[in-house]
Structure 1
């Protein structure tokens, strides 16, 4: 079985978004303490459920990113882009209603918008020659 790497630019960008998602998921899943410090979060004293939730989310990112890489289909990239678009929308709601206007939230919003735009742009033909 050969490793598939796309040849056209649009699919390479979508592939890169999937690879970044998988990489971020790997880091979050296997180093939740580091990820929490990076996001400015902490586990409450005596409660370690936060690690389980973060590891679970990291596993989801890792699995979704790897599935998009391995399947390399338009619908998989559409699902990845749509999921990140909804995550960006949820972050906007949080910025507006939860008083979550921090630099980190704005940075993560930009990352989520880019991770949504790359696969969606490929699927809808914005990156084709």
Structure 2
């Protein structure tokens, strides 16, 4: 089995979006403490359930990113982009409703918009060769 790297620019960008997500998921899954510090989160003293949630979310990101890389089909990239678009929408709701107007939330919003846009632009044909 050979490693597949796309030849079209649009698919390469969608591939990179999935690869970044898989890398972020790997970090969250195997180093949740570092990921939480980077995001400005902390686990309550004496309660380690937060690490379980972080590892679980990291596993989801890792699995979805790897699935998109391995399957490399437009429907998978569409689902990938749609999920990140909804995550970006949820972050906007949080910024407006939860008094979450801070630099970290705005930076993560930009990251989520880019992670959503790259695969969706490829799927809908806006990025060609």
Both structures adopt the same fold (TM-score exceeding 0.5): yes
1:121 is matched with 121
Q: Secondary structure at 2:93's aligned position in 1?
A: helix
Structure 1: runs of 5+ lacking an equivalent = none
Partner Cα separation in structure 1 for residue 42 and residue 8 of structure 2:
42
Partner Cα separation in structure 2 for residue 12 and residue 35 of structure 1:
26
4+ long deviations beyond 4 Å: none
Deviation per residue, 1:77-107 (Å, 9 max, x gap): 0000000000000000000000000100000
Partner Cα separation in structure 1 for residue 46 and residue 2 of structure 2:
48
The two structures, once aligned, show a CA RMSD in angstroms of 0.5
Offset at residue 35 of structure 1 (A): 0.3
State the number of aligned residues: 129
1:99 is matched with 99
Structure 2: runs of 5+ lacking an equivalent = none
Deviation per residue, 1:47-75 (Å, 9 max, x gap): 11000000000000000000000000000
Deviation per residue, 1:18-40 (Å, 9 max, x gap): 00000000001000000000000
2:6 is matched with 6
Q: Secondary structure at 1:99's aligned position in 2?
A: coil
Partner Cα separation in structure 2 for residue 34 and residue 19 of structure 1:
20
TM-score, normalization by structure 2: 0.99
